[in-house]
A and B are shown apart, each in its own frame.
Chain A
Amino acid sequence: MLLLDILISGLVLGGMYALISMGLTLQYGVARIMNLAYGEFLVGAAFLAFWLYTAPGISPLAGLVLAVPLAFLANWAIYRWLLTPLVRRAKSRGQLEVDSILATFGLLFIVQGIALVIFGGQYYSYGYLSVPVTVLGTTLALNRLLAFVFAALIGVGLYIALTRTRTGTAIRAIAVNPTAASLVAIDVRTASAFAFALGGALVAVGGVLVSMFLTFNASMGVVFTMKALIVVIVGGVGNVMGALVVGLALGVIETAVTRLVDPGLTLAVTYALFMIVLLVRPQGLFGSALR
């Protein structure tokens, strides 16, 4: 069954795309920080997982217990001390975006530089749970399947949290209109910091999980930032469900193009879709606000 095979392999690939994109959608959509150092944090988490796995022999899944809180705190601190001054002085959303791009562009080099000093420029790769599993006749790598499961759980979980809880509603309110949100007694600054830190924690989950099957090095962050940016923009900035659905769809489309048309065209198709969405629906497929 070629079509079923494409669908399943595509969903698993798309799960990875969704996984690495959901953090950015929170950081960009809610905290309004266009974090150019996003991919660097992802690679940083991958290095942490690699180091834990090779030195003390801690499995990447156990490593999550360390990586996620660490990333949450680090991103909280970054927002609190590095980005809050920018938020304070920004007169408009546009200005904050430009300032945050500049600041995080600098951050990119700092994080990358630290990784280069510690790990050098060479490639790293290790295998964890790199064993075949068969789902409905399609052979998959267990580690990739796991990334998909995590993406789905996080996506659905966050969606429920954002739509069904008070804090979630507050976060959505900020994404729609921070000024109005503060008028109804929402602590915008704290909630934004929380959203940014939560996004950072999601990056760490993504980094740890993809390190189980992708080859990475200190200068590869931008690859992930670009992919995440496409998913986030197409899905609608700040929309977690949008990132999940678009990430999955992108995986299926890429796999279908590879199998049915030509693998050389996957990038072209991806960017063509990206452009069409920008032209026809600039706010993204799932609207501009969190739903």
Chain B
Amino acid sequence: MLRMSLSRLALVAAVSALVGQIGLAQAQDKIRIGYAISKTGPFAGGAGVTTLPNYQLWVKDVNAAGGISVGGKKLQIEIVEYDDRSNSEEAVKAIERLGTQDKVDIILPPWGTGLNLAVGPTLNRLGYPHLAVTAATDRAPEMAKRWPNSFWFLGPSKAGAAALSEVLGKLKSENKIGAKVAMISVADAFGIELATAARAAFKSAGLELALDKTYPIGTQDMQALLKDAMATGADAFVAFSYPPDTIAITDAARILNYNPRVYYTAVGTAFPVFKGKFGASAEGVMGVGGWNVDSPALQAYFKRHTEVIGREPDRWASPVTYVSLQMLQQAIERVGKIDHAAIIKELQTGTFDTIMGKIKLADNIMPVVWWVGQWQKGEFVGLAPTSYEGAKSPLFPKPEWAK
């Protein structure tokens, strides 16, 4: 009974979404950009932090500067927005609708690895460029080959594990930490991929896993897991976690006064809510992400984001999202018309001037992805890959949790 009513309600929602479309002006002096994003459902948290604010900021920035120049004319951006309800079928349907009914000029991607993989075939068939920004998967090179219109901005998770073992391996070679690492991971796509990659990467860096446990998504009490981690006596603690877990784990670690010399939590560590909640206790916590804090362009971006959106960006994929949009704009302007094939070609081969400096994609993959960052004096600085411009050395050992 519930099933039937659910599908009926879905129908109502779909109809009302369509009705909302009628009456949209089809003026020639606009460039219409559409996207489906998770405004509700479990992905809304990630989309609301990383993706949506940057779409809004970029549209505002571009329109304030007159618009996108296409063939000597400045076109204002007009937005067509759908909620994919964190559901891959909905996302695919919405992309289909954007491409075939709304006939928008450009389609922006949804949030998350899963949804980007889900809409990949549709965007490929429709021929739109696909900026898979918030997608971190080891299949990125394979996908880029299969769908030449797709561009992957967070790299493979293998690189994430490699960067983390680079940091840990160096500390071990300096005899600052022992070989033992306590690792926990969330039993969901990104957590599984990272943990799998880390098992191999840690081994080759001479590290051994004293604890290797997974927990189900949505676990609300982390104390039990942390007690196991404490019992191992490992100097380094690594959690491949999602945002709510990241906060719950850190909260529990503080309560238990579990203060390993290296403390790393994954997704969410770079979110403003983390700093907001833990304040001085965040000092020395490592996590996924980071940025070059010395870059004036990025500093300006942070300031603008905070002013326009009303809160700080996350320190991982937020600037990358903005970079992808800058690249898109420049590609359109260089092509001079809405010619998807030509725009895709330009994105594949061009070099773009962005807030992260000059960016040229290599085989459709973003070359600069910060994988390890650390809160240092209230800012989430990039630590690794250590070869990047602006990479800092880690604050070691992690200071005591603030009282």
Contacts and interface: CB of A to CB of B under 8 A. Distances in A.
Contacts of A239: none
28 contacts: A9-B224, A13-B220, A98-B5, A116-B44, A120-B48, A121-B47, A121-B49, A121-B52, A123-B244, A123-B271, A125-B247, A125-B276, A125-B277, A132-B255, A139-B223, A140-B223, A140-B255, A141-B223, A141-B251, A213-B251, A215-B247, A215-B248, A219-B41, A259-B227, A263-B213, A263-B214, A263-B216, A263-B225
Contacts, number: 130
Contacts of A259: 224, 227-228
Nearest to A140: B255
The secondary structure that dominates the B interface is helix
B366 to A, nearest CB: 24
A255 B45 contact: no
Interface in A104-125: 105-106, 112, 116, 120-125
A116 B85 CA distance: 13
Given A102-B5, A264-B187, A214 B220 contact: yes
A121 B48 contact: yes
B252 A141 contact: yes
B214 A141 contact: no
A263 B273 contact: no
Interface of B: 1-2, 5-6, 9, 38-42, 44-45, 47-49, 52, 86, 184, 187, 213-216, 218-221, 223-225, 227-228, 243-244, 247-248, 251-252, 254-257, 268, 271, 273, 276-278, 311
B273 A116 contact: no
Nearest to B2: A101
A42 to B, nearest CB: 13
Contact of B45 (A140, A144, A219): A219
A138 to B, nearest CB: 9
A127 B45 contact: no
Contacts of A126: 276-277
Q: On chain A, which size bracket covers the interface? A: 35 or more
A255 B244 contact: no
B219 A266 contact: yes
B81 to A, nearest CB: 13
A223 B225 CA distance: 21
Nearest to B252: A141
Contacts of B184: 263
B224 A255 contact: yes
Contacts of A5: 227
- Residue with the highest number of chain A CB atoms closer than 10 Å, among B2, B255, B268: B255
- Residue with the highest number of chain B CB atoms closer than 10 Å, among A13, A131, A213: A213
A223 B217 CA distance: 11
B214 A264 contact: yes
Interface in A178-207: none
Q: Lowest 10 A-B CB distances belong to which pairs?
A: A121-B48, A121-B44, A122-B48, A215-B244, A263-B215, A258-B224, A219-B44, A13-B221, A267-B216, A141-B255
Contacts of B5: 98, 101-102, 105
A100 B248 CA distance: 34
A128 to B, nearest CB: 10
Contacts of B252: 141
A136 to B, nearest CB: 15
Given A122-B311, A255-B221, A263-B213, 20 more contacts: A9-B223, A102-B5, A102-B9, A105-B5, A120-B48, A122-B271, A123-B45, A123-B49, A123-B247, A123-B268, A132-B257, A141-B252, A213-B248, A214-B244, A218-B44, A219-B45, A251-B221, A254-B221, A259-B227, A262-B213
Nearest to B225: A263
B212 to A, nearest CB: 11
B279 to A, nearest CB: 9
Interface in A69-125: 98, 101-102, 105-106, 112, 116, 120-125
B61 to A, nearest CB: 19
A167 interface: no
A217 interface: yes
A112 B277 CA distance: 24
Nearest to A263: B215
A126 B275 CA distance: 10
Nearest to A127: B277
Given A9-B224, A123-B243, A215-B244, A266 B254 contact: no
B44 A217 contact: yes
A266 B255 contact: no
B48 A263 contact: no
A177 interface: no
Nearest to A213: B251
B358 to A, nearest CB: 31
Interface in A146-172: none
A16 interface: yes
Nearest to B12: A106
A216 B243 CA distance: 10
A121 B38 contact: yes
A130 B251 contact: yes
A251 B42 CA distance: 23
B49 A122 contact: yes
A265 to B, nearest CB: 8
- Residue with the highest number of chain A CB atoms closer than 10 Å, among B42, B44, B47: B44
A121 B39 contact: yes
Contacts of A266: 215-216, 219
A139 B257 CA distance: 9
B317 to A, nearest CB: 13
Nearest to A17: B220
Nearest to A260: B224
B254 A130 contact: yes
Given A116-B40, A263-B216, A124 B255 contact: no
A105 B9 contact: yes
A44 B52 CA distance: 22
Nearest to A16: B220
A126 B184 CA distance: 24
Given A140-B255, A214-B244, A9 B44 contact: no
A263 B227 CA distance: 12
